[in-house]
Chain A
Amino acid sequence: MAIGNGFKLRERVSEAADSFRRSPLWESMFRPGSPFKRGYSDSPRNRSYVIMNNVLYHLHPVKVKRHAVRLSYTLCLGGLSFFLFILLTITGIFLMFYYRPTAPAAYIDVEALSTSVAFGSLVRNLHRWGAHLMVLTVFLHMSRVFYHGAYKPPREFNWVVGVVLLLLTLLLSFTGYLLPWDQLALWAVTVGTNMAGFTPLFGNQVKFALLGGIEVTGNTLLRFYVLHVLFLPFVIVIFMAVHFWRVRKDGGISGPL
């Protein structure tokens, strides 16, 4: 496409892009072997560098067992649980901008979010369905690990870490359930915490600690809010870090069967 003075737009754009990629800023952003660097070529060495010289090295080894790459082995369920957690964090931060954790305000905010905030309804839906999906993927991930016998030595402890992750996922979901402060939230949490109250011996204490009172109140809302947006994510991230680290230290993905 030619525009004035005989300059070709495409040429100019690619020239500009090229000179930007030669700039010290761009050069400094990527470590050797990055595919974003100028002159990257597809070679076995560079394929290793892409991982080794990259923050991804915290998650992935340079090479993995061939069978682990096949989708049919892990079904990517652990990875998807992690991805959903990231997605929930991002959408959750967006929701926090519009939400006050006090008794009637919470409901009004959620309602306003769905009606008068750009993309508010979409983001809220993503957060809610994503949360349900995460409970499901974590549960299915556990089942796939069981059926593969992937909890057997040396992976016993990672299974234990996994059970904690499952519990934390459920708690995250449950504490989030109260936050819209509508009838569904109030009574689901009432039923849920009543179930906790059936704990023999110290049932009432458990219930009192969960609710911050003897029934669901504004205190409970604040309590669940802090657990939901701060405490539980903090703890689950730590457990996830240990979980991923153990996957690698225990020799990568188990199998093949």
Chain B
Amino acid sequence: MAEIPEHLLKRSAEAQARALGVPVEQVLAEIRGEAAPEPPARTPPSPAASEARPSAPSGIPEHLLRRTAEAKAEVVGSSVEQVLAEIREDLAPSPPPAAAESAPVADAPSPPVAAAAVASPQDSPSMAASSPAASSPDPSDNGAATAVTPRPVAPPEDIPEGVRPQRLLTVVKAKAIQQVKATPTDKVNTWPHLMIAEFTALMVVTAVLIVLSVILQAPLLELANFNQTPNPSKAPWYFLGLQELLSYYDPQVAGVIIPSITGLVGFMAIPYVDRNPSTKPSDRKFAIMLFTLFLTGSATLTLLGTLFRGPGFNFTYPWADGIWFDDLKDWVHFE
């Protein structure tokens, strides 16, 4: 509860207050659990509405009855006519047992069960009243089953054809098809909030790149020449860290690509090795320390290889042999 942001609470309280016709403050207090819930000012379901009509003349079409009887007869091994007669007998009005049967369902306190029922239109107000959509704070109908107990009352003659008393089809556990674990989080619309941020970032980077490309000319030296090895020969900058490592260890012995491939595999393995579930920096000091070491190490090696390696890949200062500044002069062009 404590994690729901204030403004979300308020928004939901406002909506609920509007629906129930009570002051916002009261709802807010209820949600926070500061005030006893007030019984909602709803009209209780009228008895007429919640009463179901008896399950008298079944209304099951003749051909369905016959099909059932045939199937049953085949299993039981008796004649179809006999089974049909039995079924008809069962369907004949015998209300008290039916009421007794569904009573436990209706009374079941928990776990909440919902009865999937063929509801007649008259019943729908009472269904809505006890449905969770009303999110009523009234404890009396929390988790109550939506089953309506049939009463032995003769059907009024004026019930139109097709509007039949409800029958209990099945009892379904009140469990969602999908497990929804989502806790309320503070969300905003992607449009415009995120899209604007993204668009801005995109425009800024484009602008920076264009300015950079106008000022800095990409290098193009002389035509490739196999007979003239430049000194020093360097890999692209993102491999210079590796090249730097190579100059410390005998490549034939230590190998470089294998470590870097295992390095890649090792990187992929990080989530499976680090089983610490916390994302709080204070809980993962060791992991952060290791990664920071890796970052500073590779940055140092790359800078060393890029700037501090002169002819023969020997150490030098970038200003001494003009490696860096000469190139820069070549690249920069104002026109």
Contacts and interface: CB of A to CB of B under 8 A. Distances in A.
A211 interface: no
Given A163-B268, A257-B281, A183 B222 contact: yes
A160 B277 CA distance: 18
Contact of B252 (A60, A65, A198, A257): A198
A125 B218 contact: yes
A222 interface: no
B258 A200 contact: yes
A174 B189 contact: no
Nearest to B284: A149
Interface residues of A, number: 85
Contact of B198 (A47, A76, A203): A76
Interface string A3-28: 00000000000000000000000000
Interface string B215-249: 01111111111101110011111110011001000
Contacts of B255: 198-200
Contact of B209 (A44, A79, A133, A177): A133
Nearest to A121: B217
Contacts of B295: 143
Interface string B250-285: 011001111000001001101110101111110010
Contacts of A128: 218
A129 B189 contact: no
A187 B233 contact: yes
Q: Is the interface of B mostly helix, strand, loop or mixed?
A: helix
A75 to B, nearest CB: 9
A65 B198 contact: no
A80 B221 contact: no
Interface string B279-317: 111001001100100010000000000000000000000
Interface residues of B, number: 70
Given A64-B190, A124-B218, A199-B255, A186 B225 contact: yes
B197 A71 contact: yes
Given A159-B271, A187-B230, A114 B278 contact: no
Contacts of B225: 183, 186
A129 B192 contact: no
Interface in A120-154: 121-122, 124-126, 128-130, 132-133, 135, 143, 146-153
Given A64-B193, A199-B257, 7 more contacts: A76-B201, A104-B223, A125-B212, A129-B213, A149-B284, A157-B271, A192-B239
14 contacts: A51-B191, A56-B190, A64-B188, A67-B186, A107-B223, A114-B220, A143-B291, A147-B288, A159-B268, A163-B267, A173-B236, A183-B222, A184-B221, A216-B226
Interface of A: 44, 47-48, 50-51, 56, 60-69, 71, 76, 79-80, 83-84, 87, 103-104, 107, 110-111, 114, 121-122, 124-126, 128-130, 132-133, 135, 143, 146-153, 155-157, 159-160, 163-164, 167, 170, 173-174, 177, 180-188, 190-192, 195-196, 198-200, 203, 206, 215-216, 254-255, 257
